[in-house]
Structure 1
């Protein structure tokens, strides 16, 4: 197992190098001049040239890339062009906000998606099965931004049940310790702020969870249908074991591998797909951070944000591969 993990980590190096190079070239293909964005339309040619020189943007592209690559190898992601703050210091609170939202959304997707898939498979061709699969199809098809806007209008504006933007109450801000508000509020014993944070998470979390929830439900149903036709499931049912035991102890354990693959892929997708959700709900996450950086042509922030998301995506898939052998002892890595 350790040999396999080491091999996968070594394979991660060329992937990240390739990703950094592609992102570097794509960013420079975006129309616009960072110096002009920073200084404004009325800036003189001399002022813009001086700013480009100070930022190293007047160097050839390959020189800029190798300078950036050298910084990555030493743990230095550079400074933000807009704020002049080191990105390694600036990005963590945004990354924590995105992780909190993504974890919350994934919990919703897994709990509802897996159980809906199980019930649909057990009661195949029933009204619940048809209804669940139609809802899953709609969940995959509906754009996140439209669902988010409708949620804001219905539950925020019309009913007034939930806040429509932000991460917490601006009148009573959370004192950041870990930058994970749910953890910070519990550490400080502020249960009122904990509930407020949960309320702010619901709308963006549900909007972000819709697509993975639908995909997980369909995959769980398909996998469970195959397993439930197996001899050992029929034997367990013939022995008179309760439905809950048959499904969750025998069938689900053998059907979970493909579902776990989907969960891993969707977890990684949530980190990148949160940009739309964070923009709609004014969520201060890394997606919104990168989105704002694109408008300012803040090249170091864009490069670093995409690279970190790519790294987390690959690491999530590595963790999923390791979990395979923990769930099914027959799977061995050499």
Structure 2
């Protein structure tokens, strides 16, 4: 009985402590802030989904609404007319994203690991070399000529993978993670036991670096999936274009027809589609484009915050 009374007294004192009250208030305020912030991120996406399932006439008449006046699948039927090309471009984007992210993680880690070791004599030079590329570039024309004339990547999947495979920023973040997280004693013990540098890297360093590798993978995945510029610059046909560039072309065509009544009338007189769902199809294209990438985040979530913060403690 005395123990219960003592426990109750302790809880009462803790609850009445001004510091505890301040901490609870701060925690509650932070939670409310992030709930509001999350809603501000989710609500536009919800509106986008609802508009994509709306009737075009109701959108023109009453504007965007969270609950459509008339549900319609016209936008998705419009996209379905070119379903073969959409699925092919989806496949291209998936291949480029998976291959590019995997290669990018390995190459970034292979560059970051040597410059993170204090016994590497040229560490400062190669660190500066990576940092220098963040400040200066050769320009668009030399960049294009290198990939087209030197590497001969025009109209290939390599043109969609190689230009983004290396990131100086993520090299520096990964290097800092290696410096602050990987114990040097573990590496020295492995060397004493006869392990070579490649074995140490792949069997010790890489498994201990999952947080930063997952963070790099997430951002590289987003970068590869959302890219449309490389398809615009390097791909001339329809065979190797990404789904984002396909959506960009379709939206540009819709915008042209919406602003050019002569061209729209000519298409209609030739038996084409006159009253296409211009507003709703734009929203449907966004849904088609972002669908798979939303599913990727949960796989990286548990490593994301730790990798981003620990890898950026000091430069």
Q: Tell me whether the two structures share a fold, i.e. TM-score over 0.5.
A: yes
Aligned match of 1:62 in 64, 74, 79?
64
Distance 1:18 1:69 in 2: 20
Deviation at 1:284, TM superposition (A): 1.8
Residue 224 of structure 2 aligns to a residue whose secondary structure is helix
Deviation at 1:318, TM superposition (A): 0.7
Residue 31 of structure 2 corresponds to: none
Q: How many residues align?
A: 238
Task: Give me the TM-score of the superposition, normalised by structure 1.
Answer: 0.56
Distance 1:267 1:284 in 2: 17
Alignment check: 8 A CA contact 1:68 1:78 kept: no
Aligned match of 1:162 in 149, 152, 164?
152
Alignment check: 8 A CA contact 2:50 2:67 kept: no
Unaligned runs of 5+ in 2: 1-37, 256-277, 305-315
Residue 216 of structure 1 corresponds to: 170
Deviation at 1:262, TM superposition (A): 2.2
Residue 126 of structure 1 aligns to a residue whose secondary structure is coil
1:78 aligns with 2:34: no
Residue 78 of structure 1 aligns to a residue whose secondary structure is helix
Deviation at 1:289, TM superposition (A): 1.6
Q: How does 1:1-334 map to 2 (within 5 A)?
A: 18-21=44-47, 58-62=60-64, 66-67=67-68, 78-80=76-78, 85-86=80-81, 91-122=86-117, 126-127=121-122, 129-140=123-134, 146=139, 149-157=141-149, 159=150, 162-164=152-154, 166=155, 200-211=156-167, 214-239=168-193, 241-272=195-226, 274-282=227-235, 283-295=240-252, 296-297=254-255, 298-321=278-301
Deviations 1:54-94 (A, max 9, x none): 7655321135x64499568xxx85244xxx74576653222
Distance 1:228 1:319 in 2: 23
Deviation at 1:117, TM superposition (A): 0.9
| Distance 1:244-1:62 versus aligned 2 partners, 3 A rule | closer
Residue 136 of structure 1 aligns to a residue whose secondary structure is helix
RMSD across aligned positions (CA):
4.0
Deviation at 1:113, TM superposition (A): 0.8
Unaligned runs of 5+ in 1: 1-11, 28-52, 167-199, 325-334
| Distance 1:219-1:323 versus aligned 2 partners, 3 A rule | closer
Deviation at 1:143, TM superposition (A): 7.5
Distance 1:142 1:98 in 2: 29
Larger Rg: 2
Alignment check: 8 A CA contact 1:265 1:317 kept: no
Alignment check: 8 A CA contact 2:49 2:284 kept: no
Distance 2:133 2:249 in 1: 28
Deviation at 1:224, TM superposition (A): 1.2
Task: Give me the TM-score of the superposition, normalised by structure 2.
Answer: 0.59
| Distance 1:99-1:69 versus aligned 2 partners, 3 A rule | farther
Deviation at 1:267, TM superposition (A): 0.7
Distance 1:69 1:115 in 2: 55
Deviations 1:263-316 (A, max 9, x none): 1122123211x1211211235212212222332234444323333443333321
Distance 1:58 1:260 in 2: 44
Deviations 1:98-140 (A, max 9, x none): 222233332331221111111221356632x334333433554
Residue 213 of structure 2 aligns to a residue whose secondary structure is helix
